Chains A and B, each alone.
Chain A
Amino acid sequence: MQNELKLNFDKIISLNNFSDSQKKIKQENFNNYFEKGLPNKRNEDWKFSDINQIISKNFDNLNFIVDQKKIFEEKDFPLNFEHNKISFVDGKLYDFDFKYEAKDKILVDQNLDLDDTINQNTLLNLNSAFLTSVSKITIKKGYNVKKPLILFNYLSDGLKSSAINSRVDINLEDDSSLCVVSFLNENSEKNFINFRQKIKIGENSILKNYSLDPNTSENIKYLNKDINLSKNSHLEYFILSEGSKFIKQDINCNLDDEYGSISLNGIINLENEKHHEIKTVINHKKENCKSYQLIKSVLNDKSKGIYQGKIFVSPEAQKTDGYQLSRALLLNESVEFNAKPELEIYADDVKCSHGSTSGNIDENSIFYLMSRGLSYSESKKLLTNGFLNEVIEKISNEDVKKLVKKLSGINV
């Protein structure tokens, strides 16, 4: 695979008209990846999900050059609310529509501004090496985007064994707000998706970011998000992790200034042999910031769920309030749940705690429901739905909340 990869890389360089500095950054990224390869379980961050093994198990060969056929089914999601949209095909910007918004307040743009510093995460190296464009969304100062923005990701029909890299940068200028929902339309065969988002939230701004994975697919996905919060800004993040064969959400939040706050919630709801991981790092850098995380998992069949969450509090970040809770229900004897809730604290005047529970469903509750006439499986369904619904209720956008309930079938 390595030789082919090199050919792929050379090809992408020769096919595109990159500037010299872009070429240089790409080459450095590629070299770092080439030297180190994909992360494996010896890497602490990948202890529970050996991506190297997962990729080699699922793909004999991966194609890094995607010939964009642009033939795809623009499948309608059950969106019965007004929304803005941006569509991407095979990771590249395709179309956008902001008919509900003031025209000059939202900028959608493409460039190839890659980071100068070479990341040590080799998946990000791959991403930078093979990207042909970065999509940029800017919300202008003081503008509150009225309707939710849906990011539709389509893949060309019949696309398979391809590595698709994408990067979207979102910049909320000061005093603005935005609600984003990301989807991947799964009409393709098995591919490796490596998507990255870099987000900056300006002072007094609010971002609601919902990352949904409702549809069953064979795709292997790595979703990396870097989010920086300015003074007095707020991030609401929600994950619905259900459909794909493998997903790792790798979320890094930096509370760069005072009074920032984060509410990060997620559901891992799995069947068959799916393997999903949510990994978060919340970096408290300044005083008086808050972060709250709630992750719930329900595991069926032979599935595997992982939550790795870290709260880091730097010495300046006094008066930090950090909380993290992970709860998992194991519903079959072949499932596995791993958690690593981590606190790393260097300031003394803080309130930080975490909790983690994993175990089986309460048989007494099942018995109670059955005594009221429900079957065993109905009772179980009701209880697990109730368990997960607590997380969905944390979604503050009502339209999105309804959508998530519909997509997940969790409605109690």
Chain B
Amino acid sequence: MDSRQKEIDSLKDYKYGFSTDIENTKAPKGLNEDVIKFISNIKKEPQWMLDFRLKAFERFKQLKEPDWQKPKYPKIDYQDLYYYSAPKSMKDKPKSLDDLDPKLLETYKKLGIPLQEQARLNGIAVDAVFDSVSVATTFKEELTKQGIIFCSMSEAIQKHPELVKKYLGSVIPTTDHFFATLNSAVFTDGSFVYIPENVKCPMELSTYFRINASETGQFERTLIIADKGSYVSYLEGCTAPMRDENQLHAANVELIALDDAEIKYSTVQNWYPGDKDGKGGIYNFVTKRGLCKGINSKISWTQVETGSAITWKYPSCILKGDNSVGEFYSIAITNNHQKADTGTKMIHLGKNTKSKIISKGISAGKSDMMYRGLVDISSKADNSRNFTQCDSLLMGNKCGAHTIPYIKNKNLKSNIEHEATTSKISDEQLYYCNQRGLNQEEAVSLIVNGFCKEVLQQLPMEFAVEAQKLVGISLEGSVG
């Protein structure tokens, strides 16, 4: 009875906190060359892919785990993790959704992710990643007609090696920082997108990540290439079951936009944040980087970060092509004991490049929130512009809000503007809403959604509604 009540209580807090009882195939615990070979082997990878991984691993062994970030965490024993876990039924990958393990389908149904093609009404093509493996990709046929490739990374390595070889690691090299390099060595799966020249992708592409197995690190790798004149909007959603131990999620996402291409990448991250006392939860240490390689290209990141025990990521844009544009819209909410150190980097290399950063941070409970960002305008990036607005909202005086922008300007023809504010919801605003019949939580949710509006507007419709609800839910119980 007691344990049942506990379960009920905890489920109430985190809607996605169930785990699915599925048999898994795991690589042996630990990190070494054999495990990497095991992963490569089980995925039937060509030699060049294995070489890529081993090269990264060589480099990884020389790297030290960074410790400059604000949220500290207990040391991770990298030898005590599983680096590969796949539902057993995936060993022989199903040919169609009908072959999928019904339990998996059930899981995604619970999450509200339409895997069945009947759910086409939603008009979103979904690639679902369960633990480390891509389990299903929808709408494939329709996309193929336009020459769009949307498949799992493993499949892309097999079927489109020339593209993968050319672009994988071109934005995040195998010699990058600690977690990115670890990912390069052990990544298991993820999504691959290629939009051919002058094709506007007719629907939102979406990946849904879920961590299920315990003691498993999740290391996906996503690669999106938008060829000349193309457009794609990509959505990413994440959940994980509640477990007492912390789980590591260290994904790499690389975006490449060629001439006149545009990539819009939206994330709603709702990994399990740990319980009220800060036990458990996901360590979300993700490397996301976009390269505006061509002229007039554009990459736009939008993120709503409400989950994870620790979020530590800086989706960035390298503005290499002349006239290219980088955008970063972020809402980050921390409650209870959550910690976030997030922001962006805008590296202006090309002429007439523009970037915009809108960051809204909300901290409640005993949480800690940090915006950390870099705007760097090089001496060659004539007539470039950056505008940054960072606003923080504090709820209660046991939490913290920090803003650290690094601003570097080496170009006299370029301008950087940065503004930041920190405030709280005023009692007067709450009183006004109460007087119009809203209770405290409704009032807070309304005001916070208003505070975040500029960012919410950037999300595709279907996501915006979900995100708005999440904003409300994440702050429940934070005003008393």
Interface residues as binary, A42-77 with B (CB distance below 8 Å gives 1, 0 otherwise): 001000000000000000000000000000000000
Summarize B's interface: helix, strand, loop or mixed: strand
Interface residues as binary, B418-431 with A (CB distance below 8 Å gives 1, 0 otherwise): 11111110000000
- The reply to whether A345 and B401 contact each other, CB–CB distance below 8 Å, is yes
Of all chain B residues, which has the CB nearest A342?
B404
A358 to chain B, nearest CB (A): 4
A391 at interface (Cβ–Cβ under 8 A)?
A: no
- The reply to whether B422 and A341 contact each other, CB–CB distance below 8 Å, is no
Cα A357 to Cα B415 with chains together (Å): 7
A172 to chain B, nearest CB (A): 31
A394 at interface (Cβ–Cβ under 8 A)?
A: no
- The reply to whether B422 and A345 contact each other, CB–CB distance below 8 Å, is yes
- The reply to whether A338 and B408 contact each other, CB–CB distance below 8 Å, is yes
Summarize A's interface: helix, strand, loop or mixed: strand
B48 at interface (Cβ–Cβ under 8 A)?
A: no
B357 at interface (Cβ–Cβ under 8 A)?
A: no
Interface residues as binary, A336-354 with B (CB distance below 8 Å gives 1, 0 otherwise): 1111111111111111111
Cα A400 to Cα B187 with chains together (Å): 64
Of all chain A residues, which has the CB nearest B414?
A359
- The reply to whether A347 and B415 contact each other, CB–CB distance below 8 Å, is no
Give every chain B residue within 8 A of A328 (Cβ-Cβ): 409
Give every chain B residue within 8 A of A335 (Cβ-Cβ): 410, 412
Q: State which of A318, A336, A352, A356 has its C-beta within 8 Å of the C-beta of B421.
A: A352
- The reply to whether A354 and B411 contact each other, CB–CB distance below 8 Å, is no
- The reply to whether A345 and B392 contact each other, CB–CB distance below 8 Å, is yes
Of all chain B residues, which has the CB nearest A327?
B417
Q: State which of A44, A349, A352 has its C-beta within 8 Å of the C-beta of B397.
A: A349
Give every chain A residue within 8 A of B423 (Cβ-Cβ): 350-351
- The reply to whether A333 and B416 contact each other, CB–CB distance below 8 Å, is no
Give every chain A residue within 8 A of B397 (Cβ-Cβ): 315, 318, 346-349
Q: A343-B402, A346-B400, A348-B395 are in contact. Are A353 and B409 (CB under 8 A)?
A: no
- The reply to whether B409 and A359 contact each other, CB–CB distance below 8 Å, is yes
Q: State which of A318, A342, A350 has its C-beta within 8 Å of the C-beta of B403.
A: A342
Q: A339-B407, A353-B420, A358-B407 are in contact. Are A344 and B412 (CB under 8 A)?
A: no
Of all chain B residues, which has the CB nearest A304?
B410
A332 to chain B, nearest CB (A): 6
- Counting chain A CB atoms within 10 Å of each CB, which of B395, B404, B419, B422 scores highest? B422
Give every chain A residue within 8 A of B401 (Cβ-Cβ): 343, 345
Cα A338 to Cα B412 with chains together (Å): 13
Cα A388 to Cα B394 with chains together (Å): 35
B71 at interface (Cβ–Cβ under 8 A)?
A: no
How many chain B residues touch A (CB < 8 A): the figure is: 34
Give every chain A residue within 8 A of B395 (Cβ-Cβ): 348
A334 at interface (Cβ–Cβ under 8 A)?
A: yes
A347 to chain B, nearest CB (A): 5
Interface residues as binary, A384-404 with B (CB distance below 8 Å gives 1, 0 otherwise): 000000000000000000000
- The reply to whether B422 and A340 contact each other, CB–CB distance below 8 Å, is no
Q: A332-B412, A346-B397, A348-B397 are in contact. Are A353 and B407 (CB under 8 A)?
A: no
Of all chain A residues, which has the CB nearest B70?
A344
- The reply to whether A342 and B411 contact each other, CB–CB distance below 8 Å, is no
Q: State which of B396, B412, B416, B422 has its C-beta within 8 Å of the C-beta of A357.
A: B416
B160 at interface (Cβ–Cβ under 8 A)?
A: no
Of all chain A residues, which has the CB nearest B374?
A340
Q: A318-B397, A344-B400, A352-B422 are in contact. Are A360 and B405 (CB under 8 A)?
A: no
A299 to chain B, nearest CB (A): 8
A331 at interface (Cβ–Cβ under 8 A)?
A: yes
Cα A318 to Cα B394 with chains together (Å): 12
A170 at interface (Cβ–Cβ under 8 A)?
A: no
- The reply to whether B405 and A340 contact each other, CB–CB distance below 8 Å, is yes
A330 at interface (Cβ–Cβ under 8 A)?
A: yes
Cα A356 to Cα B379 with chains together (Å): 19
Q: A335-B410, A358-B407 are in contact. Are A343 and B420 (CB under 8 A)?
A: yes
- The reply to whether B415 and A359 contact each other, CB–CB distance below 8 Å, is yes
B5 to chain A, nearest CB (A): 33
Q: State which of B398, B399, B412, B418 has its C-beta within 8 Å of the C-beta of A356.
A: B418
Of all chain A residues, which has the CB nearest B424?
A348
List residues of A whose CB falls within 8 A of some B CB: 44, 315, 318, 328, 330-360
Q: A328-B409, A339-B407, A345-B394 are in contact. List 8 more A-B contacts (CB 8 A).
A: A339-B405, A339-B418, A342-B402, A343-B392, A352-B421, A352-B422, A353-B420, A360-B415
User: Can you report 6 A-B residue pairs in the complex whose CB atoms are below 8 A from each other?
Assistant: A330-B412, A341-B403, A343-B392, A345-B401, A355-B419, A357-B415
Closest 10 pairs between A and B when the two form their complex, measured CB to CB: A359-B415, A348-B394, A330-B412, A339-B407, A356-B418, A343-B403, A353-B421, A352-B422, A358-B409, A348-B424
